[in-house]
Amino acid sequence: PPPIEDLPEIRDELQKHWQSAAMDLVRRGFRPEAVFETVLTVGLAGHVELHGKDVTARKLIFVAEQLAEQVKKEAEAMEEAERSTKN
């Protein structure tokens, strides 16, 4: 089968289902931190099982780099907003 990246409608549908399941657990009284940490842990374990540790590690590095770039852009935007309000 094609990678999930090639099927955005499936990715979108699965994300909606996982989000709904997670929010249902939160509504049932589980702490959000625990819900999302365990979802991540189970997902990573499944990814390792399917793709191996090396591929999973590279995927995590890719995600970490994307998050770092977002943090950098947000910090730059906040600095720019602060400079704009001072003028």
What pLDDT is stored for residue 58 in this prediction? 94
What pLDDT is stored for residue 22 in this prediction? 96
Residues 21, 36: contact at Cβ < 8 Å? no
In which band, very low, low, confident or very high, does the pLDDT at 5 lie, cut at 50, 70 and 90?
A: low
Residues 19, 12: contact at Cβ < 8 Å? no
What pLDDT is stored for residue 2 in this prediction? 54
pTM passes above 0.75? no
Residues 22, 38: contact at Cβ < 8 Å? no
Residue with tokens 């090639």: 6
pLDDT in tens, 13-58: 999 999 999 999 999 999 999 999 999 999 999 999 999 999 999 9
Smallest Cα–Cα separation from 37: which of 50, 15, 22?
Answer: 22
Residue 4 has pLDDT above 70, yes or no: no
In which band, very low, low, confident or very high, does the pLDDT at 73 lie, cut at 50, 70 and 90?
A: very high
